[in-house]
Structure 1
Amino acid sequence: MTPNDPSDNPWSDLERPPLNAASLSRALVRPESLWTSLEVVDSTGSTNTDLAARAARGEAREGQVLVAERQTAGRGRLERTWTAPARSGLFLSAVLVPEVPAERWSWLPLLAGVATASALSRTAGADVVLKWPNDVLVRFGDEERKIGGILSERVERPGGPAAVVLGIGLNVTLREEELPVPGAGSLALAGARVTDRDTLLRAVLRSLQEWYGRWRDADGDPEASGVREAYTAGCATLGRRVRAVLPGERELLGEAVAVDDGGRLVLAGGEGVQQPVGAGDIVHLRPGPEGA
């Protein structure tokens, strides 16, 4: 980005006004709230990278939220990077310190998916579903397009318990010509009734606080907290034939039949053999020879 880049000017695109940081802080940072601070920056490489570095230095407490109007090196799973025009989406990360058994932390990105999808469905009126493990999709017509993703990273903190930096990236007003890859989408392209980013950010963070509170109060139990039931109901992967591309370029074909206690996707292959998948890329297959 050059000093004369018009995207430096927050009013260069009147359809994409800047976030109102003061108003958001007043609405979200309260004595009874999970959120202890909310900072909005004009541009950064990655909000997750920034907050993880603060946490590793012992400078971040639970409930800190960092939002960027623009990310130049946004990160997804498997170290993938992506960028988007300034003020075209929501790019945020939050620090959480879950006082639950560490083996249940794998539910955090799925929990964040439930919170995000329910907030967008309720607030924007979009038909939002989840793709295991961390993709947020929107349905319009006969298509499912990816509008966002979630990244969860464990960070060791000096002199204190480990933290999780939870990142959420969502395409809000991207236009067709701005989409980074085929299969991407945005809330605006899906005809969402609300694309005001302040409204959407408040909804997502309030929903995340609610679901995180339920999960934490249940000691991270996905069943008792209702997280597994909600995730199963909103996951477009379950019940479909999929291809799982695993580390080492191995592949598995099967029907996605369940999410197990560890948040892993369970595939049913030939002769009823079931296998859990904890990491990898999942491709939804269309009916036909490819999925046979």
Structure 2
Amino acid sequence: MMVSARGQPMITAPVSGKLVIWRYDVGAMVRQGEAIAEIVVGDQVMVVHAPVSGRFTEMMALPGDEIEAGKVIGWVDAVDVESLPLASLIDEPSRKTRKPQRKARTRRLNAPWLWLIVGVMTLFGALAVGVVLMLAPAEVRVESETSGQPVPVPTPRFDRLERVIYSNVEMTESMQWGMQGIVQSAGYDPDSGTWYDVRFGDELVRVAERDLDSVGVLAPTPTLFFDASHWPNTLILKEAVADFPAGTRVQISSASFNGVEWDLQVLTENNRSLNVRESQLAYPEAFTPTP
């Protein structure tokens, strides 16, 4: 019988093979010479006997493990079973018929794989946020400074990329009644109300909601700012067009509305034809159109 340094008898494997079953649970009382485990060697089953009578205290190998001859597979705490009080009244523990489960082993991912998984998850998260932003209605931003109290923001009347029409009858040099544009974004100012950034042609203009309407409400073509009766008069280019600098004098020869603003065909003083937008023309300072 082999005894450990701590004074407990050791259960050793008599042969090399595979441990298939423990016949007793840890804590059970065993008697010397009693079969306590089984080892399979080829087609034969070898029985491992308890070295002493006492309490089975620890399993050093589990069913399914390959073990070598002489390897310690368990411990028994030597106890005189017959001298225990009421020993004859205690039933023997049931024999082990079920293989104990191994503790789950956690596999650790290598650092490159971990970073790859994190990168893929981040990429999909960014794509999802982008799709949500593309499908969301016009952005609403509160630009006023408050004392920490939330500002109630009304729902924008127009959606992002919706076509709208400028409906303010008080025309300016750059904005005229009936001009059509496309909403790019929206916001809210507690002082002036809801506003929109609307693209009219190549220009992005901020317009109050009260100055906009749906295209279906004001469908008629807006009136050209330069009245036909003034066409023989000379106009000037407000900005460079093609090879002609700002200030070049031109005359209107024809006009058409493109759904956003008027497109004009003009002639220069040397009879060169140009296509310009209405917003690119102006009256000379010395000329005042007749109302």
TM more than 0.5: no
Please state which structure has a larger fraction of its residues in strand: 2
Larger Rg: 1 or 2?
Answer: 2
Higher RCO (Cα < 8 Å, 6 or more apart):
1
TM value normalised by structure 2? 0.29
